Chain A
Amino acid sequence: MRFLAFSTRNRKELLRDPISLIFGIGLPVLLLLVISLIERSVSGMAEIFSIENFAPGIAMFSLSFIALFSGMLLANDRSSSFLARLFASPLAASDYLLGYSLPLLPIALVQSAVCFITAFFLGLSVSVNVLLTILVLIPVAILFIGIGLLLGSIFSNKQVSPICSIVVQVAALSSGMWFDLHQIGGAFKAVCYALPFAHAVDLAKITLAGGGFTAIYPHLLWVAGYAAVIFALAVRAFKKRMKA
């Protein structure tokens, strides 16, 4: 249970440096408010900007900041000798990865909850599907935690922040939250659906609309598969770093 002590430390480090957390929660909420208000004022806006379509996209976008949180936490620890001290302790590689990941899951749940509570005020129907959507977004959160841990294991603390910003942008642009990928079609759509982010948004949209397991299963599998591969790569990179 050594990982619990490390996990507690990471939770405190994250919560005591709240600027990035506020940014990670506040920016998506601001976007949701602005786009919804524009959508109400301007007639003829695309269907993707209706609250039931846009809120799941914003929820995914919000979770993409988790990569920044986990990446920066790990990279900052690496930049000091703090991690070297811990590497000399009896902590195993699994303790580190659990310790870094666990405190981020409640934060991810709060992010999703804040996003959907905001959406309620903008006209989203209150239903049990919202709770299910928050649950199916957990693998998406794990995917972004894994991306952050992978980047934090490879790059320095000065490199992680801009690289994670690129990840956030790629996630947003390829997710279909800003434009309908089916209308664009072609190679762009194929590339976007080869990545996990469009599947993450579809997963949330379908669950919110009350779609059954058969409908969400392919998207869930795609996201979970990516999360597993990214986490495996992060474990490998972290173990290599431990012996570097």
Chain B
Amino acid sequence: MLNAVEVNNLTKRFKGRTAVDSLNFSIKKGEFFALLGQNGAGKTTTIRLLCCLLTPTSGDAVLLGDSIIENPTAVKQKLNVSPQETAVAPNLSVKENLELIAAIYGSNKQEAEVKANKMLTALGLSERARDKAKTLSGGMQRRLSIAMALISDPQIIFLDEPTIGLDVRARRELWKLIRELKGKITIILTTHYLEEAEALADKIGIMHYGKIRMLGSLDQIKEATGQKTLEDAFFMLTEKEVE
């Protein structure tokens, strides 16, 4: 099996509004896929569908051999997610947050502690291990959020706008962290920062009004649109409907 994700005619409608419209794409194992789009383009809804947080109106997606409709429990065991907003337990310490997620994904107490210690070291959180999560800065909370997504050893990780609201330094540090994951697991990133996709992604999907307008590597997108930059290509692919 070469593909980690296969999306087939995936559609989600909310009371007459089509948020995700007949998506078809695949993501290879170990690939870093960035889903770009303006606010309301359908990125987060797509992620929520693939994470089994929403049921599709029609279509399906298969993640590492399991359908999100027929076997969501098996799908959930293979993935983890770092949601768009802060998603930590505020009154638990940094280490306790990590141990909680490890235990929820099936680790016993000892395994959870070993994994938490490993993750604290790997993500530079050891010094704050005993601090309550609510006392961390925004950047550190995002770092913890990503650590919580990684601690279950997922085969696919979803990063939903991981750097939104962060300052330049915190964003650059998070990019470094994300870059280190490349090739080890399949990463699906949603962002509306174009430079983030340019810096990190193997494959980029540009989404607009629920549809994928262009799919390919950075060079393929520039070549297909005849534009010199991703930003120009993005505007070209998305401006018609804006007018």
Q: Taking beta carbons and an 8 Å cutoff, which residues of A are in contact with B?
A: 2, 4-6, 8-9, 12-13, 16-17, 80-82, 84-92, 242-243
Q: Which residues of A contact B54 (CB under 8 A)?
A: 243
A88 and B79 contact, CB distance less than 8 A: yes
Counting CB contacts under 8 A, is B7 at the interface? Answer: no
Point out the residue from A12, A80, A91 that lies within 8 Å of B104, measured CB to CB. Answer: A91
Q: Mark B53-92, 1 if CB is under 8 A from A, else 0.
A: 1110000000000000000010011011111111111111
Select the residue from A6, A84, A243 with max chain B CB neighbours within 10 A: A84
Given contacts A2-B103, A2-B104, A85 and B92 within 8 Å (CB-CB)? no
Query: B81's contact among A8, A85, A243, by CB below 8 Å, is which?
Result: A85
* Cβ contacts under 8 Å, B216 to chain A: none
Q: List 5 A-B contacts (CB under 8 A).
A: A5-B100, A9-B100, A12-B96, A13-B90, A13-B92
Contacting A at CB under 8 A, from B84-137, are 84-92, 96, 100-101, 103-106, 132
Q: Contact at A81–B148, with CB atoms within 8 Å?
A: no
Return the chain B residue nearest A92 by Cβ. B73
Contact A90 B77 (CB under 8 A): yes
Q: List 11 other contacts, CB 8 Å, given A85-B83, A88-B51.
A: A8-B100, A9-B92, A9-B100, A81-B87, A85-B81, A85-B82, A88-B79, A88-B81, A88-B158, A89-B104, A90-B73
Rounded to whole angstroms, the CA-CA distance of A8 and B86 in the bound complex is: 21
B87 touches A84 (CB 8 A): yes
Number of inter-chain CB pairs below 8 Å: 77
Chain B residue numbers with a CB within 8 Å of A6 are 100, 104
Q: Contacts of B82 on A, CB cut-off 8 Å? A: 85
Nearest residue, chain B, Cβ from A14:
B91
Q: Chain A residues near B200 (CB, 8 Å)?
A: none
Q: B residues within 8 A CB of A92?
A: 73
A84 and B84 CA atoms in complex are apart in Å by 10
How distant is B228 from chain A, measured CB to nearest CB, in Å? Answer: 37
A75 to chain B, nearest CB (A): 14
A125–B74 alpha-carbon span in the complex (Å): 57
CB distance from A74 to the nearest CB of B (A): 13
Contact at B106–A80, with CB atoms within 8 Å?
A: no
Question: B153 to nearest A CB, angstroms?
Answer: 13
Query: Which residue on A lies nearest to B152, using beta carbons?
Result: A89
A88 touches B55 (CB 8 A): no
The answer to whether A81 touches B92, judged by C-beta atoms less than 8 angstroms apart, is no
Report the minimal beta-carbon distance from A131 to chain B, rounded to whole angstroms. Answer: 33
Q: A90-B77, A91-B104 are in contact. Are A84 and B96 (CB under 8 A)?
A: no
Per the bound structure, the CA–CA distance linking A112 and B92 in Å amounts to 28
Task: Decide: A243 and B100 in contact? CB cutoff 8 A.
Answer: no
Q: Please measure, in the bound complex, the distance between the C-alpha atom of A162 and the C-alpha atom of B105, giving whole angstroms.
A: 36
Shortest Cβ gap from A97 to chain B (Å): 15
Question: Which B residues are CB-close (under 8 A) to A89?
Answer: 76, 80, 101, 104-105, 152
Q: Is B52 an interface residue (CB 8 A)?
A: yes
